[in-house]
């Protein structure tokens, strides 16, 4: 098993934002292929930092992630390196190792539309599932259903798009309960 080391972080009003280039971020997702439950990845904006200053639980989520990647130029400028999220780069380069993706969130139909567009753009991209949750926390039955679906499909990466802070709190709560790469 490879040893995965987390990149250094820089402090933005208490939030430890990962100091990494786009290449580093991509490799941090691709390198640990086939390892399970490494953690969750947050993409942090200025809005996320503001929310974390008011919400200690969200601050804890950001600071205990596998990565908290800067998103938006204000955080990129503060970083040691210039970095930002780029789902398309990870989808493109992940085809080599057959990285499996699962899209969770959005309005009804949004995850499917994103899946279709990415698959059309990147031949061979493996998107194994999508799920649009209700606009509230999942109940136990719904969580068991989504867990079963993810366990069956075995994604390497779950992309959660619920908006900040819901997506970060959701992933921090469930990442170690799902049998996935991240």
Q: How many domains does the chain have?
A: 1
The Cβ of residue 148 has, within 10 Å, a number of other Cβ atoms equal to 10
The residues of the chain scoring below 50 in pLDDT are 1-3, 80-84
Per-residue model confidence as pLDDT tens digits over 22-65:
777 777 777 766 665 567 888 888 899 999 999 999 999 999 88
Residue 73 resides in a domain = yes
Residue 77 resides in a domain = yes
Residue 79 resides in a domain = yes
pTM: 0.70
Residue 94 resides in a domain = yes
Residue numbers of the domain that contains 67: 9-177
Residue 159, pLDDT score:
86
Residue 152 resides in a domain = yes
What is the rounded CA–CA span in Å between residue 173 and residue 182? Answer: 13
């Amino acid at each position: 098993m490879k040893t995965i080391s987390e990149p250094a972080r820089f402090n933005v009003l208490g939030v430890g934002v990962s100091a990494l280039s786009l290449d580093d971020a991509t490799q941090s997702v691709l390198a640990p292929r086939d390892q399970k439950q490494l953690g969750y990845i947050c993409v942090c904006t200025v809005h996320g930092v503001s929310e974390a200053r008011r919400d200690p639980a969200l601050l804890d989520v950001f600071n205990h992630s596998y990565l908290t990647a800067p998103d938006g130029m204000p955080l990129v400028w503060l970083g040691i390196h210039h970095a930002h999220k780029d789902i398309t780069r990870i989808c493109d380069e992940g085809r080599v190792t057959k990285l499996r993706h699962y899209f969770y969130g959005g309005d009804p139909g949004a995850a499917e539309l994103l899946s279709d567009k990415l698959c059309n753009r990147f031949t061979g991209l493996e998107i194994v599932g999508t799920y649009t949750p209700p606009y509230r926390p999942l109940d136990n039955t719904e969580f068991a259903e989504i867990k079963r679906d993810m366990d069956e499909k075995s994604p390497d990466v779950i992309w959660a798009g619920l908006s900040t802070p819901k997506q970060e709190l959701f992933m921090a709560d469930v990442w170690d309960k799902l049998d996935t790469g991240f």
